[in-house]
Every structure is written in C-alpha cells, then in structure tokens.
Copies of this chain bind each other. A is one copy, B any other.
Amino acid sequence: MYKIDKVKKIVIEKPLKLDCGRTIQDFPLAYETYGTLNEKKDNAILVFHALTGDQYASGTNPVTNKEGWWSYALGPGKSIDTNKFFVICANVIGGCMGSYGPSHLDSAGKPFGTNFPVITINDMVNAQYNLLDFFKIDKLFSVIGGSMGGMQVLQFISNFPNKSYSAIPIACTASHSAQNIALNELGRQSIMADYNWENGFYAENKKVPDKGLAVARMAAHITYLSKKGLQEKFGRKLQERDDLKFGFDADFQIESYLRYQGSVFVDRFDANSYLYITRAMDYFDLTKQFNGNLSKAFQNTTSKFFVISFTSDWLYPTPENRDIVIALNAIGKDVGFVEINSDKGHDSFLLNVPDFLNAVRNFLETSYKKIK
C-alpha cells in the first residue's frame, strides 16, 4: 500500500448515526478540490467516485503518481470545467485513501479490519454532506457521479432535496440488481478465499490478501468492458509469441492485460475496503427506502436532473437508468436523459467518449447560465 499521510482531510466531529445502528464521530474524511469557489459560492460541484475511485479525480494523484480517474471529464477547459467550477471530491467512508475505513486504527490502536461497521451509500452521502458546512456552501450547483457515484447522486438528492441545483447520475441504478450482487459477492469470496485474508485481520498480522484481491479486480474488470469492445481490442491476439505455448502462462493479450490489472490494483487498494464498498453497493435500494415507489425519493427536490447511460453497459444497462427517469417523470420533475452510443461498456464514463463528454459539458453550461 501507498503512504497516505499527506492526504487533505476534514475531521467530522458531529456524530453520524450509521444505518447499521452504530454511531461514529471524530472521523476523517479525505477530500480534494479543483478550481476556485466564487464569491457567491454558487459554482460548486460535488463529484462522487465509484467503487475503486478516490478524491483524486483529476490531475496527478499524489499518492499513486498516476492520472486522476476522471481526467478525461474533469479539469481546466474540460467538460466539468475547473476554470469555471469549484469541484469537491471526497474519498467515501469505508475507502482506503484517507477517509475513515477498515484500515484505520481502533481505540486499542489496532486496524479495525472486519470490526469496522458495515456502511451504506446513505452513510457515505451523509458523511460527505459535512463538506458543505466546511466550505460554507449553502447550495451546490451540481452533484455528479458514475456507477456507485451515480447511486450517491440519487441518495444525496433524496436526503437533501434542495441542496443542489442539478444532479447528474451516470451509468447507475436505483436498486442494485441480482446479477450485480452476484458479481460483487464473487469479488468478496475471492478475497475471503485468500489464505492471507485472516478473517479481515491481515493488517495487524502484516499480511496482504493480494492474490484474492487481484482476482476480484480481474472479475470486476471484465464486467466494466463490453463483449464487443473486448473482441475489438484484444480478440484472440497473442502475447509476444508466434503461436500458442501449450501452458498456463498468458498466451493471449487479454490474459496478460487482466493479470496486469489485478497486479497494479493491489498496490493501491485495500482488500477490506473492497469488501465494505461492494457491500454498500449491494445494500443500495433507494426504491425500497420509499416502500417501492422511487418517485417518492425525489418528491421534494427542485433539482434539474440529467440521467446518462451507455448502450454497451451491461452492468448498469439503460433500462435501469431509464427507471430513474420514469420515476422523475411520474411526478413531473425536470429531467433530461441520454443513452450514449459506445462500445466501451460500463467504463465509458471514465474514458474518452466524446458524445458523453459533450453531453456533460452542455448540460452544465446551459444549467449554469440559467441560475446566473
């Protein structure tokens, strides 16, 4: 793991009652900002990250020295233009980039491990709400995020209906599907099967369940891409060899690509955080929070919504995104919707997909003009 000592943090003193029943307080929330908050404080955008993201959405991540996860979309002159907007992005609680998570120390000075409370999307959002107080922002201009970030957008608007002028949930769902629970459970079982996981208390024993975590990442990575995208990018291309080697080394490029994805992931991510965050995703069911009527989640909001899905995203396919639109339309809320053509699968929202990037830019620009 990388050192995360120098990460920017606020410490949230106010007690936060979690959905599991436990109350936490005086816990750290690591964050980063991009751009400048204007005097009227009306140009702030809160960006929510996905499962393996962090607060370093743009520029160079100072911990990993790699590009921020949303560098295509976010930065000076980009779709989320930090020359105009003040962007805040925080590491979710349960995460491993400085925010309160299972690798933190308990009162006895030992890493929590699996004694850390199981958290929910609701808990994540409630923790991040403190950022508005911290920056003395009365109302955000927008909340935006893809995948689990999109779920946080939906939960944020539901919890704080008048705290953002607009909301952009991307490639997400209001209710985690059976297939997605299954895929997350696969990742968890892979981690828990690792000899070094030690029921979650590996950190105090100076061990790392890196093999299990790598397999979990490989599994997830396959789901982020589309069948067609994989076929076009990799097909049956061989890995630096003329022919099959009749062994179990990586013969195909797709194999070495996946192995690489697994191996670099374990350097930057904590296995227990993977368990906790996937659990939060699986528990997410905004529709059930409102007894089966998703519209009620948005009943009190005045936010202008823009819902975005991608044609080749089979993890959070268009119909699940459209359900959000339907729920908003049913109560006459202001909602735009676009399904972007892309072969890049669920990962489309992280990649250079011009139609997507333009859609986000145009929506933000047009909406911002309206409030000026």
Contact = CB atoms under 8 A, between A and B. Distances in A.
A211 B288 CA distance: 34
Interface stretch (A45-53, A186-194, A323-331): A186-194
A233 interface: yes
Interface in A204-255: 211-212, 214-215, 218-219, 222, 225, 227, 230-231, 233-236, 244, 246-248, 250-252, 254-255
A108 interface: no
Contacts of A273: none
Nearest to A185: B255
Interface stretch (A34-42, A56-64, A70-78, A174-182): A174-182
A370 B96 CA distance: 68
Contacts of A179: 222, 225, 227, 230-231
- Identical copies in the complex: 2
Contacts of A314: 227, 314
29 contacts: A118-B246, A118-B247, A118-B248, A176-B236, A177-B227, A178-B233, A178-B235, A178-B254, A179-B225, A179-B227, A179-B230, A181-B252, A181-B254, A182-B218, A182-B255, A183-B222, A185-B258, A186-B215, A189-B218, A189-B258, A190-B190, A193-B193, A193-B212, A195-B195, A219-B219, A227-B314, A236-B288, A251-B282, A252-B282
